Amino acid sequence: MRLFILIFTGFIAPILLVALLVTNPLDFGGGKGLSPSQNESNVEIVASINGINITRHEIDRAAEDNFETLIQVPEAQQAFFLSSLVAIQKIAARNAISEGLANSDAVQQRLAYQKEKILHDIWVAEQIHARITKNDIRAYFDTYVAPELAKQNENVEEVEARHILVATQGEAETVIKRLEKGEGFAALAGELSLGPSASRGGDLGYFLAEEMVQAFSDAAFALQPGELSVPVETEFGWHVIRLEDRRVVPPPSFEDLSEQIRAFLEQQERNLFFDELLTSYDFQVYGEETSMLPEFDDDVPLKD
């Protein structure tokens, strides 16, 4: 199901990641390598390095910790990417232990900080969750979301399409000729397409008009199922599009949006909760009011 993002855009990235992992878990089977297995504790083993098991839970944690990097990795490579991160972590940790680093002051200080942070994260999440009720979510929906949905007045159409992305118009025209001679679209996409959907046979799934650049959307929505487009130029290159399906999507219901609204309200409540904590206890900052950011070499350019 498409996540409907209205006023609360920008607050659901971690929720979205969890949803993706639950509804579309990373594929560790069906490709090259070993399929997942279960050990005696019924823990899913998805990889190993030097005989050290890597579990599904560890992969999920790595996905959460590396969310912004993960979304830039092609879907077909995400399982290998995360398994590699966890494998390197395990080998590095064992080498560090063998070299006696486990009891060093630096490690103990960071462990103490991480323990506090984990306790903080879990406790705060429980406190915030308890403060947002279903009535709060309903009130927000009725006050802010429902009026926006009512303005639409109509159901929204979306289409399902495949595309092949190439560098030049001539290449796109050649693709069309090969398709007209009977070659399979998915096979050609896997062979020729420069886009990340090549590994899926060019499949883009269902999308709304505003979710694609205008030239692409205009071409896709002008087609009927089974039809091919002429070469379409966008900032990414030249596309050959085949429409797979069209359907009407009704506006999302309260049930569809309740978890997104909860995530947004919890983010707002979190800020209030932190203010309450700081004002409820004897909080003091010692020393001069100077910047706590680390000093950087002036010759080293910083990213914006």
205 φψ region: left (φ > 0), alpha (ψ -120 to 50), beta (else) = left
Write down the pLDDT at residue 224.
96
Contact 142, 234 (CB under 8 A): no
Write down the pLDDT at residue 285.
85
Write down the pLDDT at residue 206.
94
pTM over 0.75: no
Give backbone dihedrals phi and psi of 269, rounded to 5 degrees, phi first. Answer: -65, -30
Instruction: Mention the CATH class of domain 155-249.
Output: alpha beta
pLDDT averaged per 10 residues in sequence order, the chain, 304 residues: 38 38 46 50 84 92 91 87 94 94 93 95 96 96 91 81 96 96 95 92 93 95 96 95 93 92 95 92 79 53 42
Domain map of the chain by residue range?
1-99, 155-249
- β-pair partners for 47: 54
| Contacting residues for 31 by C-beta, under 8 A, at least 6 apart | 76
Write down the pLDDT at residue 251.
84
Write down the pLDDT at residue 76.
82
Contact 193, 163 (CB under 8 A): yes
The CA distances from residue 80 to 28, 77, 210, 224, in Å, are 8, 5, 32, 38
Cβ-in-10-Å burial (0-12, 13-18, 19+) of 291 comes to exposed
Write down the pLDDT at residue 284.
87
